[in-house]
Amino acid sequence: MSSYLNLSGVNKMFGDFQALDDVNLDIERGEFVTFLGPSGSGKTTTLMIIAGFEQATKGHITIDGKPLDGLKPYQRNIGIVFQNYALFPHKTAVENVYFPLQMRGVGRRDGLEKANRMLELVGLKGFSERHPKELSGGQQQRVALARALVFEPSLLLLDEPLGALDKNLREQMQIEIKRIQKRLGVTTIFVTHDQTEAMSMSDRIVVFDKGRIEQVADPLELYHRPNTRFVAGFVGESNIMAGHVVDAAAGLAECAVFGSCRYPADDRFSNGQAVNILIRPEHLKISRKAPESGEWATMTVDTIVNYGDNALVIGHSGDHPVRVRVLGADVVIIKEGEDCHISWRPEAVHIIAGT
């Protein structure tokens, strides 16, 4: 067991409700890991158990080999940025940042100096004497971050910290948080239900659903090779068709819409096994005429949603909805209500086990 943070067999019951079901996870030192999942999936509960605000019903957690069991939140040395920042309204920015140092017996002069340096690092030079209510949402966020980092915590937990910010500010803070995290090298767990946020920030993503870990992978792996149908549907847009494997050795499967299609052969599957076949919308190509070679299908266009640089074409093939992402310039070739052809390359086909 050489990982930095280790969760093994963590279970949590709220009365009869099983909030967490056998969560096992290893996180390396300095890693930026995101807990991703819909609300109620167990990601925040896991975070609160790590922080010590909730007790696991079963299971153990260790940091750097030392067990956390029985330690109170204030004995764990874990920095947390809360959803609403939880800045102390009666203290100035710098006093907020000084607070954890004060609790650790650091003298006022040294402590305030260190707090000021930390505020500078998060880009708040000159704001240290302001009270939280005199700061904007983004600035409050930075103070909360500085406060959670100033005492050199063994772990940094971020509980949906960007939820309250508007879109532009959110993107800016994503970059900022990543920059500061890299610079300090602090092991970080970031909780969010926003998959683009997870994609853009994480070294690895842990997908939660119904109290269970669905998949742990780096962002690209997660996107291109989701383990389960849930992950495929939750991360990014997807066309998923239920089907079965025809020839496992050659990499041939069959399903609705895509018909009999080839995929990169994989020995995890056997002939006749029921599977889900995933093709991402941007991997489908639209054309008016049938392609001369390769694999293709037909579909009827229902709606075109323009985003400027790209467009989402929503159509159907038989009873099945199909989504295609096309470049903005290409959208002129089709109109709503028309029939067209979609084609793809075998590498774009990903097979997921199960029905």
Partner 1 sequence: MNGLMKAIGFVVVCFIAAPLVIVVPMSFSDARSLQFPPPGYWLGYYEAYFTDMSWLRPTWNSILIASATTVLTMILVVPATFALVRHKFYGKSVANVMMLMPMAVPHIVMAIGYYSYFGQMRLVHTHLGVILAHSCLSVPIAFLVLSANLKGFDRTLERAAQSLGASPVRTFIHITLPILRPGLLISALFAFIQSFDETVVAIFISGRDAETLPRKMFDSIRQEADPVIAVISTLLFVVVLIGLLTPYLVRGLRGRLRTRNAGQEPPPAALAPQE
Partner 2 sequence: MSVNTGGVQGRGQFLPWLLLLPLAAYLLVFFIVPLVDVAIMSVTEPKLSLDNYTKVLTGSLYRKVFINTFATAGLVAICCLLVGYPLAYLMAHSSDRTALLILLLVTMSFWTSFLVRTYAWMVLLGNQGPVIWFMELIGVQDPPHLLFTRFSSTLAMVHILAPYMIMNIYTVMKKIDPALIKSAESLGAKGFSVFRHVYLPLTAPGIANGLVLVFVICLGFYVTPVLLGSPREQMIAGLIGHQIEEFLAFGLGSAMAMVLLAITMVILAIYHRRFGLDRLWG
> For binding to partner 1 (CB under 8 A), which residues are involved?
51, 53, 72-74, 76-80, 82-84, 86-90, 99-100, 102-104, 131-134, 147-148, 151
Partner whose footprint covers residue 307, from partner 2, partner 1, none (CB < 5 to 8 Å by kind): none
**Percent of the chain as helix, strand, coil, to the nearest 5:** 30, 35, 35
Rule CB under 8 A: say whether 209 interacts with partner 2.
Answer: no
Partner whose footprint covers residue 196, from partner 2, partner 1, none (CB < 5 to 8 Å by kind): none
Binding mask 271-310 for partner 2 (x = CB under 8 A): ----------------------------------------
Listed ranges 38-46, 219-227, 249-257, 262-270: which one lies at the site for partner 2 (CB under 8 A): 38-46
Cβ of residue 164: shortest distance to partner 1, in angstroms? Answer: 13
Q: How many residues bind partner 2 (CB under 8 A)?
A: 10
Looking at beta carbons only, is 54 or 95 nearer to partner 2?
A: 54
Site for partner 2 in 78-97 (CB under 8 A): none
> If phi over 0 gives left and psi between -120 and 50 gives alpha, with beta otherwise, what is residue 257?
left
Cβ of residue 97: shortest distance to partner 1, in angstroms? Answer: 10
Convert 10-48 to b/e letters by CB count within 10 Å (16 or more is b).
bbbeeeeebbbeebebebeeebbbbbbbeeebbbbbbbb
CB neighbourhood size of 264 (10 A): 11
Cβ of residue 160: shortest distance to partner 2, in angstroms? Answer: 10
User: 1 with 27: CB under 8 angstroms?
Assistant: no
Instruction: State the SS3 of 212-246.
Output: EEEEEECHHHHHHCCCCHHHHHHCCCCEEEEEEEE
Cβ of residue 45: shortest distance to partner 2, in angstroms? Answer: 7
Rule CB under 8 A: say whether 123 interacts with partner 2.
Answer: no
Question: In sequence order, which residues have a C-beta less than 8 Å from that of residue 334 and are 6 or more positions away?
Answer: 286, 288, 301, 304, 313, 340
Question: In sequence order, which residues have a C-beta less than 8 Å from that of residue 153 and are 6 or more positions away?
Answer: 77, 78, 79, 186
Is the Cα torsion angle 154, 216, 47, 197 positive or negative in sign? positive
Rule CB under 8 A: say whether 17 interacts with partner 2.
Answer: yes
User: 301 with 340: CB under 8 angstroms?
Assistant: yes
Listed ranges 36-44, 110-118, 178-186, 267-275: which one lies at the site for partner 2 (CB under 8 A): 36-44
Partner whose footprint covers residue 19, from partner 2, partner 1, none (CB < 5 to 8 Å by kind): partner 2
Interface residue list for partner 2 (CB under 8 A): 14, 17, 19, 39-40, 44-45, 48, 53-54
